Homo-oligomer: A and B are copies of this chain.
């Protein structure tokens, strides 16, 4: 089901605050945001991010992480709305799965089976879009082709990100987290780039053994698991700082020593 995807980014708005340029863009009918350093070298690495289920490209976690990555490390950071999310229409299938999720939540039944199934279907739609977006972003002179590209996406963005990264050799380091192994372990076994993986030790949705199994599945020689006490939505803020350092270490290996 390869879609007929647009090839060129069109910028539709531009603001600049505190050293960060923020540009809205569309790639055909897919809206996205690109954050960039207001000053710096001609060309800098890109971090491609994804948002979680039920949120969108400008969710506070996205804007916060983007600003962090731009200001700490001079990266470009891009995110697009996932299918059925943000400014994009939902299909009848999207509505049906979202309704099923709410029913499970209200009935106190496990959300996992629905999230795993729905996210796997979303990934089939989103992976070609993300590849097209990466193609188009690399045509910008300030990003360019051939440079290192990082990925940072938790929750639903891990469900899309694992098959995306497994299939796209342009990604050279990836931060994932907070998902189940069921639909992802096989693709994770094809990923060999450095990975940082976040899980919650007391996650009420993802069983501990399931989270550990997905981390175990990555074929990467260099991989790090960060497990924090707390429930599904209680991932500590300092894990964003950790992700930024991880991406800096791998995308800018010659940069100054951290700490």
Interface residues of A in 241-259 (CB under 8 A from B): 241-242, 244-245, 249, 258-259
| Count of interface residues, chain A, beta-carbon cutoff 8 Å | 25
A215 surroundings in chain B (CB, below 8 A): 227
* Distance in angstroms between the alpha carbons of A72 and B229 in the assembled complex: 26
Complex Cα distance, B259 from A238, in Å, reads 9
List A203-259 residues whose CB lies under 8 Å from chain B: 212, 215-216, 220-229, 236, 238, 241-242, 244-245, 249, 258-259
* Cross-interface CB contact of A244 among B68, B212, B259, cutoff 8 Å: B259
A75 interface residue (CB < 8 Å to B)? no
Partner of A224, one of B223, B227, B249, B258: B227
Interchain CA distance A162-B135 in the complex, whole Å: 52
Given contacts A223-B228, A238-B249, 14 further A-B contacts (CB under 8 A): A68-B259, A72-B259, A201-B216, A215-B227, A220-B229, A221-B229, A222-B236, A223-B229, A224-B228, A225-B228, A226-B226, A241-B259, A242-B242, A244-B259
- Identify 23 residue pairs between A and B in the complex whose beta-carbon atoms are under 8 Å apart, listed by A's number: A68-B259, A201-B216, A201-B223, A201-B225, A212-B212, A215-B227, A222-B229, A223-B228, A224-B227, A224-B228, A224-B236, A225-B225, A225-B226, A225-B227, A225-B228, A226-B226, A227-B227, A238-B245, A238-B249, A241-B258, A241-B259, A242-B242, A244-B259
